[in-house]
Chains A and B, each alone.
Chain A
Amino acid sequence: MSETVIRCEGLTKYYGKSRGIEDLTFEVRPGQVYGFLGPNGAGKTTTIRCLLSMLRPTGGKAYLFDQEVGVDGQELRRRIGYVAGDVSLFEKQTGQWMIDYISGLRGGPGSSTRELCERLQFDPRRKVKELSKGNKQKLALVIALMHDPDLLILDEPTSGLDPLNQQVVFDIIEERTTAGATLFLSSHILSEVERVCERVAIIRAGTVVAEESVETLLTRALRTVVVTFTEPVTDAMIQGIPGTTSVERVGEYGLTATIASDIDGAVRAIMQKPIKDIQIEHATLEAVFLQYYGHIEGEVGQ
């Protein structure tokens, strides 16, 4: 069994003088559900295309199943199911034609084609050009998943799908990962990454700026503490709370503090005074993400 399913070592890609990704290093282990997070233009798709040998890296190395990409990419891709961020299909043909085309390239029909079509409520008899964006996405998912690949590389897989179908897609993904498949999910939809991924890499300007388990990332992240005391808030009370990035008074008896670190110390300091109510809000992945991106420009979805 492979030690890593995906491994990038200093992976770099420049388009002429313009940077795509730079010195990207991370690895995905077998069975892991890995989120690749970043806004549009951060380098997520460039990374995926380097992994699939569609782009020739300017520097560094990429490995799939412990084999260097590009040496035997053909056989490596047999184990991969890929949904592109911008789904492009043969517009004049039917969905069934597309399914047969992919089956032909893979040497036989997929074992779960019919089941996927039924669960996603996709009718393969219609021509691709007549399909809505959501239905094209369903077709892309069917052809990516129908051969039960070991590694799923999904670039914005729920784009264009309604909430019900998003749910179906996540159910299918969860079933596949439970059965042992590895998932590499590239997305800027933070809620879906938080929902399914156990580990994430945050990519900014072509470089990985954070790579940790979702749990650790959330633990380290900002928390908001809302407290109502039984006596008026004083300056000394505010100054006595450690690890805060901001503290605001809320009326005479309340305050809202954003804690960047040492939540234990902060809560202990707050508890020095009699409190009427306290709320500690766990940070969402979105808040973590904004910690990295909050002060820079960029398009951040949702």
Chain B
Amino acid sequence: MNWTIFKAALTLRRISLAWYSVGLIAYGWMIIAFFPLIAKNPAYTELAQEMFSEEMLAAFGGAGLQLTTLGGFLGIEYLSLMWVLIVGAAVIIFAAGQLAGAVEDGTMEVTLSQPVSRVKVALTRYLAMMAYAVALCLVTTLSLYVTGFIHGVDVPVDSMLLLFFVSLLLALAMGGLAFAISAMTTGGGRTIGVSFGVIVAMYLADLLGNLNSDYAWLSKMSLFHYWEPHRVIDDLEVASATWLVFGIASAAFFAVGMYAFQKRDVV
């Protein structure tokens, strides 16, 4: 790793990190503040159950999801969709800028004309993306815990700790995808477009699989099939397939990105 490149990569994105963090804190706080109303008020619960049909609950979080549990509520209202959008956007945009974006704006030429190897540049920029993801996942879990404390909602520490690790692996899988595409393409915009396209396709595949059992196989090909935040929070449970799929995806995307960047022309 090269400390100068690592520091520079994060320094250049510190403002966007601050804004994403503000978004995560604000949204998480809003959901946590709203949770006691749902959990403790039967009228709200009934209304919410009417608004979210069984199919819709299944589509967005899997069967057996309960709005009245903290995990179920956070899963439906925040972690299954909005969190994925915010953190997905953050890590994809960050990763896109690290290789393809830097090649496009010419700063990669400045860096690679110095005594530093391509392996070190790519590895360091991946590690910077990792640090960025760690920061976002920390902000997510810490803000849920702190705002839970403020609003008298019992947010278990061990659930948040487990949520941090699982969400980090998902963030790394999404960021890793963008990193791999970034290593192969020219232009940050193109990387972002292709990465979002793949992420949206995976999200829709999961949705379709959840709605129609005929397409369950399609769902299993999606990263989001294995993203079950309600189980993590309520049951302190993570399926071994989740660790495996997220872990393999992160490692594979990283390896592809590293290899592709060694082979490409940097112009």
Within 8 A of A (CB), among B83-133: 105-107, 109-118, 120
Inter-subunit contact B112/A90 (CB<8 Å): no
B2 at the interface (CB under 8 A from A): yes
Residue in A closest to B265 when the chains form the complex, CB atoms: A55
Q: In whole angstroms, what is the CA distance A73 to B113 when docked?
A: 9
State which of A54, A77, A82 has its C-beta within 8 Å of the C-beta of B267: A54
Across the interface, which residues of B come within 8 angstroms of A55, CB to CB? 265-267
Q: Main secondary structure on chain A at its contact with chain B? A: loop
Inter-chain contact A80/B107, CB cutoff 8 Å:
no
From 196 to 232 in chain A, residues with beta carbon under 8 angstroms from any chain B beta carbon are none
A56 vs B115: C-alpha distance in the bound complex, in angstroms?
18
With A54-B109, A90-B12 as contacts: A105 and B263 at CB distance below 8 Å: no
Inter-subunit contact A52/B106 (CB<8 Å): no
The total of chain B residues at the interface (CB under 8 A) is 26
Contact of A106 with B115 at beta-carbon distance under 8 Å, contacts A88-B106, A89-B107, A90-B12 already known: yes
Instruction: Point out the residue from A49, A87, A101 that lies within 8 Å of B4, measured CB to CB.
Output: A101
Interface size on A, residues (CB 8 A): 30
B206 → chain A closest CB, angstroms: 38
Q: With the chains together, A91 CA to B3 CA distance in Å?
A: 21
Contact B265 A77 (CB under 8 A): no
Contacting pair A54 B266 (CB below 8 A): yes
Q: Is A53 an interface residue (CB 8 A)?
A: yes
Q: Which of B107, B115, B264, B265 contacts A74 (CB 8 A)?
A: B115
Assuming the A-B contacts A84-B109, A86-B106, A88-B105, are A78 and B265 also in contact, with contact meaning beta carbons closer than 8 angstroms in the complex? no
> B109 near A105 (CB under 8 angstroms)?
no
Kindly report which residue of chain B lies nearest to residue A153, judged by CB atoms: B113
B residues apposed to A, CB below 8 Å:
2-5, 7-8, 12, 105-107, 109-118, 120, 263-267
**A–B Cβ pairs within 8 angstroms, 12 of them:** A49-B109, A53-B118, A54-B265, A54-B266, A55-B266, A77-B115, A90-B107, A104-B4, A104-B7, A105-B4, A105-B115, A143-B110
Residues of A within 8 A of B (CB): 15, 49, 52-56, 73-75, 77-78, 80, 82, 84, 86-93, 101-102, 104-107, 143
Other than the known A75-B115, A88-B107, what 6 A-B pairs have Cβ atoms closer than 8 Å?
A49-B265, A49-B266, A54-B267, A55-B265, A86-B106, A90-B8
